[in-house]
Chain A
Amino acid sequence: MVKYILKRLLFIFVTLWIIVTCTFFMMKQLPGTPFDAERFSIMTPAQQESMLEMYGLNDPVPVQYVKYIGNILHGDLGTSFSYVNQDVGSVIAGRLKPSALIGLQAVLIGLAIGLVLGILAAWKHNSGIDYLTMILAVLGVSVPNFVAAALLQYYIGLKWGILPIGFWTSWNCSVLPSIALSFSATAMVARFMRTEMLDVLDQDYIVTARAKGISQMQVLMRHAVKNSILPVVTILGPIVVNLMTGSLAVENIYSIPGIGSLFVDCIKANDYPVIMGITIFYAAFYMLVVLLVDLVYSMIDPRIRLTKGKED
């Protein structure tokens, strides 16, 4: 097991290096410079030179690349161009916290509601609750989160005044954005759970269990749910990454200092060190979550072996 994890970590490291390299050279192809063209053009040559020097942009791109790789191996992500004199690591860390909190809450809401709805829909197949769940699932997937965010802000925040309409001053501020983000997760979890569970409920061992006279609840919890949760675990990886890495639309609507808007802003501003920093973070985070999901598989379903068993 340890050997397996180490092997995966090595792959992650190599993949990261490939991603960093590709992103670095593609990023350099972005039109423009990190500087406001109109302002830059009226600077004196000495100032232009000093700016390029300060940001290490007067070296040829391959030299910049080698220097950059050297720096990140020392854990130095560099200094942001647009957030003057601020360390990229601390800029990203500061912006990650709100996004991570909102994303985590959205995942929990999505899981809780999605699982309950999915289980009920399958258990009461072709009933009112089943149709309701399917309608909610279609809505949740097809209504974009910014529409939900704007509606929640308008009604719950402004009209009824129950929760803050935005900003980032207390925990209350995180509730509406979490709900807005959770809709798609709820819908996905509910649909996957329902489909898989319908399949499981048709299996012979469920009929056997019922025939043995076990209570309905035990059939449901012990046999049905446990055996249909695997697809949900599969999609949980992408959902977690998706929600915890920030959403530009939801962050803008609720004025939340999150990482989604940072990523878009830094690309627009050609802030190279921040673009690279976020790319590294996203990629590493995604791969680690996928690894974690794989590990969880083997715990839930003994049929899945990560390493070859001795008896094989």
Chain B
Amino acid sequence: MLKKRFTAFLLTLALAATAIPAGAAEASDQVLSVAVNAEIKTLVPWAASEENAFLVTNQAQEGLFRMDAENKPQPALCDTYEVSDDKLTYTFHLRDGIKWSNGDPITAGDFVFSWLKQMSAEATNGYSFIMTDYIVNGQEYSEGTAEADTVGVKALDDQTLEVQLKNPTPYFTNLCTMIMFFPVDEAFYESVGDQYALAPDSMVYSGPFTITEYDPAVGATFVKNDNYWDKDNVQISNAKVRVMKDAAAAFNAYQAGELSYVKLDSANVIANQNSEEFSQTIDFRSTYIQFNLTDPVVGNVNMRQAISHAIEREALTGFILADGSAPGTGLIADGMAGNAEGTFRELNGDVTSFDVDLAKEYYDKAVAELGSAPAEVKLLVADDSVSKSVATFLQSELDKNLGLKVAIDTKTVQGRSELMDSNNYQFAVTAWGADYDDAMTYLDLWTNGTPYRGNYTNDDYNALIADAKSQTDDAVRLDDMLQAEKLLVADDAVVAPIFHRGSAALTKSNVKNLIIHPIGVPMEFKYAYFE
């Protein structure tokens, strides 16, 4: 009897053990393996809005352009292209003989199909603006007031794609490196319907790799795509993206040789910064204080100036975050495009700074104007660990440098956004990651006067942005944006930039040319190789 029971137990165990995928045999050659810290919840192109989905998609799919090591777009599926004199019409010529992984030809029609999907009401990723802001009739199509055939994206023939823009957009080819602009095989999509992109075999691939395994909570496994046009230049044959939510565990996996690349948390940055495998990048992502201009206290411009000048940003990035982040002396992140002479940040210099005396001067002025010193101000923050340490830092800085008491109000990300949307906050710590490498990705946000953006309405600011959007002269356009940032941060102090997120990472010394982008698609496996 007992023996029988024991056998039954063993059988149950054996059954349960089959729940594990049969030992995915590691190929004999090396596997490029990187960890991501959150799940890859969806790969449906018009539903995916998270960085990790972009990372996976970028290895398996390709658009007209692909970013190079300098974050500049290089022709990918597009062979050549022409821009009309008014800079409003782009004609892209696709390469000869490009194929999907199932052998179907990649046509201009596949681009039209996916772009229209991304602009339609079906798109749930919130990225439609990245097309509808630029493409003729895109907004109208998105709102359901224009037909598909009036939208400014057309297949002239199987190999020619014509795009009509509303305004001159010098960074349009940059946008084309983003996954929303990648094609989708229309015939294949129709055959799988709403199952598209849920599993490896419900997708076809246009990029350097195909996906052989995909589980939102586990990650994705890649093999080289033999139908890829540039396969001769792809040297990695096996790659993995692994979901590892625990930073310490990822670091252990890296040390055990299970990962080729790992992002470090601040605890490990200091211990490893002298390692040869160490590298650091500044993301195009700015964390800043958003002031609510309708609030009686921080509605006062001198109060905002005082707060902005009372923050010693170097102390925050150097000692508290210590993860490679850079102090935010402007809203636009370091390294973002300017002109031939320098980056946007270099051209505009510091638009805010740490200066205790100046801060006190502003504070006294603000107190005089308000009639009395505020007893306490309330800082709204999200409940992640970085935001909380930033908030604690700000609390101590404002108390120490201004004598201003700050109460910290911690909410979930959702809760914080809801309070900001309903105009129910004084000032809040929030962040914005650039969608494309141009200052407009930030500056455009403060033109709509919503509570989330502090109810800021300034006709001069709006005029600068409007002019920049319609300019054909790139120099004037840049100058408009430089002025707009000064107006927003230095003069009106609507926001107080705090820091630009950095990331520190280790890469195994035998892995070469694994390119990390600070924006859009985070990483390129295509050019990597083992030494």
Contact = CB atoms under 8 A, between A and B. Distances in A.
Interface of A: 30-33, 35-47, 49-51, 54, 82-86, 94-95, 97-98, 100-101, 104-105, 108, 150, 153-154, 157-158, 161, 165-171, 173-174, 252-255, 257-258, 261-262, 265, 268, 270
A182 to B, nearest CB: 15
B187 interface: no
A18 B118 CA distance: 41
A88 B44 CA distance: 17
Interface in B96-133: 121-129, 132
Given A49-B121, A167-B258, A97 B418 contact: no
A116 to B, nearest CB: 16
Contact of B44 (A46, A85, A101): A85
Contacts of A94: 215
Contacts, number: 165
Contacts of B132: 44
Contacts of B20: 98, 101, 168-171, 173-174
B121 A46 contact: yes
Q: Name the residue among A108, A153, A254 with the largest chain B CB count within 10 angstroms.
A: A153
Contacts of B217: 95, 257-258, 261-262
Interface stretch (B78-86, B178-186, B241-249, B372-380): B241-249
Contact of B42 (A41, A44, A83, A150): A83
A47 B123 contact: yes
A251 to B, nearest CB: 8
B256 interface: yes
B355 interface: no
A233 to B, nearest CB: 15
Contacts of B409: none
Contacts of A170: 20, 23-24
B412 A268 contact: yes
Nearest to A95: B217
Determine the interface band of chain B, counting residues with CB < 8 A from chain A: 35 or more
A252 B421 CA distance: 33
Contact of A37 (B128, B139, B418): B418
6 contacts: A86-B198, A94-B215, A95-B217, A168-B218, A173-B20, A268-B412
B128 A43 contact: yes
Contact of A32 (B194, B249, B412, B452): B412
A199 B19 CA distance: 42
B142 A44 contact: yes
B249 A165 contact: yes
Given A41-B452, A50-B121, A255-B243, A100 B126 contact: no
Nearest to A81: B124
B16 interface: yes
A199 to B, nearest CB: 26
B214 to A, nearest CB: 12
Contact of B417 (A32, A43, A44): A32
Contacts of A41: 421, 450, 452
B125 A255 contact: no
Contacts of A95: 217
Interface in B1-48: 9, 12-13, 16-17, 19-21, 23-24, 39, 41-42, 44, 47-48
A158 B251 CA distance: 10
B245 A261 contact: yes
A44 B139 contact: yes
Interface in B67-84: none
Given A95-B217, A174-B20, A262-B217, A82 B256 contact: no
B423 to A, nearest CB: 13
Contacts of B39: 265
Contacts of A49: 121
A30 B42 contact: no
Contact of A82 (B42, B128, B144, B252): B42
B252 A167 contact: no
A169 B21 contact: yes
A254 B132 CA distance: 43
B88 interface: no
Nearest to A257: B217
A161 B256 contact: yes
Contacts of A35: 124, 126
A166 to B, nearest CB: 6
Contacts of B128: 43-44, 47
A46 B195 contact: no
Contacts of A167: 218, 242, 253, 258
B143 interface: yes
Nearest to A103: B16
A305 B218 CA distance: 48
B216 interface: yes
Interface string B401-442: 000000000011111011011000000000010000000000
B140 to A, nearest CB: 10
Interface string B481-523: 0000000000000000000000000000000000000000000
